[in-house]
């Protein structure tokens, strides 16, 4: 993939390269990608696309990192504080995703219900979306949820029933905390949330 992706083509949207992103951040610091592990107390990571344990069966990222645009990252701090009242905390499966990774995922899935097509790009590419579950703060162990992450079945829908009582409770905690602090759930995936300001941010192809 070429370094400069800013020119629109019939097959794709305008995407900023790493150099263009750095220039943008100099003008608009709020567009900077922030390392969530450095700003969200107690955050746990399980970045599946940095491992073979994902839809592709091979690592998609060179390193395990969770980045978001600064306003979304700061709102996630408030989400974490709200969840702590239940003794729970966030477990991040994915956050910012380079555009080139979205292209590779589309080659595998090719279903707009579960993957963003390259001609539109993903809100993950804007640093404005993340995929999350929950952990028990006392043990660090993942809490039961309705399905595994990236389960491409109706059971992963946010309103799906029947699910176990613990999974329903934890899904409710996550949805309530995220919704109260600026994030909107995608109803086809209990784990996926978009920051309400997603449209303000550019599509990026900045490597992790």
Q: Which of 38, 112, 148, 189 is the catalytic position? A: 189
Comparing CA positions, the residue from 119, 198, 189 lying closest to residue 153 is: 189
* Residue 31 counted as an annotated binding residue: no
The separation between the first and the last C-alpha atoms of the chain, rounded to the nearest angstrom, is 15
* Residue 28 counted as an annotated binding residue: no
* Residue 86 counted as an annotated binding residue: no
**Which two structure tokens, joined as six digits, stand for 65?**
């990192």
> CA-based diameter of the chain, in Å?
51
189 is catalytic: yes
User: Do the beta carbons of residue 98 and residue 56 sit within 8 Å?
Assistant: no
Judged on CB neighbours under 10 Å (0-12, 13-18, 19+), 104 is middle
Name the region of 196 (left: φ>0; alpha: ψ -120 to 50; beta: rest): alpha
Comparing CA positions, the residue from 74, 123, 116 lying closest to residue 95 is: 123
- Known binding-site positions for Zn(2+): 124, 131, 192
Which residues does the annotation place in the binding site?
A: 124, 131, 192
> What are the residue numbers of the active site?
189
């Amino acid at each position: 993939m070429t370094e400069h992706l800013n020119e629109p083509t019939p097959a794709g949207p305008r995407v900023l390269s790493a150099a263009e992103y750095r220039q943008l951040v100099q003008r608009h610091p709020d567009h900077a990608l922030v390392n969530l592990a450095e700003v969200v107390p107690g955050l746990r990571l399980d970045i599946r696309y940095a491992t073979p344990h994902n839809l592709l069966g091979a690592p998609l990222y060179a390193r395990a990192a969770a980045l978001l645009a600064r306003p979304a990252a700061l709102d996630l701090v408030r989400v974490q504080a709200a969840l702590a009242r239940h003794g729970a905390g966030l477990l991040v499966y994915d956050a910012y995703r380079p555009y080139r990774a979205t292209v590779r995922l589309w080659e595998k899935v090719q279903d707009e219900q579960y993957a963003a097509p390259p001609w539109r790009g993903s809100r993950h590419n804007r640093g404005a979306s993340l995929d999350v579950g929950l952990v028990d703060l006392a043990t660090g162990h993942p809490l039961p949820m309705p399905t595994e992450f990236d389960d491409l079945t109706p059971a992963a829908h946010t309103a799906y029933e029947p699910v176990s009582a613990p999974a329903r409770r934890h899904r409710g905690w996550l949805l309530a905390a995220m919704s109260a602090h600026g994030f909107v759930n995608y109803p086809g995936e209990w784990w996926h949330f978009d920051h309400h300001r997603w449209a303000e941010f550019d599509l990026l192809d900045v490597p992790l």
